[in-house]
Amino acid sequence: MATRETNPNFMNGVPELLVLRLLQHEEMYGYEIVQAIRERTDAVIVFGEGVVYPVLHGLEHDGALRSRRKTVNGRSRIYYSVTAAGSRRLAALSQTWNNLATAIQSMLMGGHHAKTAS
């Protein structure tokens, strides 16, 4: 009911974020995305197909992605591209991630704080 009042787990959404980001400038297909994430992060982040495909389906279902089937070398691929809604979603996710990363960074670096504040 209602619009989902519960806080989504604040950390999640990274697979979504990376997928949207990859698709922002060029259309790609699932299998390609799996490898792109591994390669571009030097294997720091490795999302299996079991992670990527459900994300793609979910994003398409939400209208953030659009797909078209294409056959290359006898291989059937499903290329995804970002819709306007997807662009907005990407912007929002980026923002959220930035806030989070900044907050954590400041805690990790910040001096102990001293309660001196009046």
Partner DNA sequence: CGATGATACCTTGTGGTTCTATGTATTGCA
Partner DNA sequence: TGCAATACATAGAACCACAAGGTATCATCG
Residue that the structure tokens 């929002």 belong to: 92
Closest to its own copies by CB, 1 vs 39, is 39
Closest to DNA by CB, 74 vs 111, is 74
- From the number of C-beta atoms within 10 Å of its C-beta (0-12, 13-18, 19+), residue 86 rates as buried
Q: Classify strands 75-82 and 28-29 as parallel, antiparallel or unpaired.
A: antiparallel
Shortest distance in whole angstroms from residue 109 CB to DNA: 20
Near DNA by CB under 7 A: residue from 1, 2, 3, 4: 4
- The interface partner of residue 83, options being its own copies, DNA, none and the CB cut-off 5 to 8 Å by kind, is none
